[in-house]
Amino acid sequence: MNNTVIDVAAAIIVNEGKFLSAKRQGGYLNNLWEFPGGKLEKNETVESAAERELNEELGIKAIASETLLVLDYTYPDKSVRLHFVLCSLGNNKKHNLTMLEQNPTTSWFTPEIAPLNDFCPADKLALQKIKWDTILKSEDIDNDD
């Protein structure tokens, strides 16, 4: 196995008390849920990687704000450093939500009823470590506009 650690941005998007998940496509983790995102490109920040990946993978424009958790995880074939980045759906929220509703590989879960056994191992661990009460409270404030 290669000892190189791959830096990955994983987006945390919350809407109406639920977080966004996407199903992995391909590989031995195929069809497991994960926080959407992907590998950082050379000289790319985790925030810009999260925004780029959401646009490329899901066709949505999001705004990254802060890193909530950094987690190292070793899979049988690679080691990853996941940067879980809080993102908002931005100015195009209605359009973004429509795009996500039409995407069969995405779904929204509450932290309490997320199907943990159907998540990629690293994302499952993150799901248990993220301070959801704080994130959901701040989302309520944002929605008071």
Task: Give average pLDDT by consecutive 10-residue segment, the chain, 145 residues.
Answer: 86 95 93 97 97 96 96 95 95 92 96 94 96 83 50
Q: What is the pLDDT of residue 40?
A: 98
Please state the pTM of the whole predicted model: 0.92
Tokens of 124: 């499952």
pLDDT at position 2 is: 59
**Alpha carbons within 13 A on the beta-carbon side of 16:** 5
Q: How far apart are CA 27 and CA 87, in angstroms?
A: 27
Q: Tokens for 3, please give them.
A: 């000892």
Q: How far is the C-alpha of 45 from the C-alpha of 50, rounded, in Å? A: 9
Q: 5-135, superfamily in CATH?
A: Nucleoside Triphosphate Pyrophosphohydrolase (3.90.79.10)
- pLDDT at position 69: 97
Q: Tell me 130's DSSP state.
A: S
Can you give the pLDDT at residue 143? 52
Q: Cα–chain-centroid distance for residue 63?
A: 13
**Strand partners for 25:** none
Scan for tokens 């066709």, then name that residue. Answer: 59
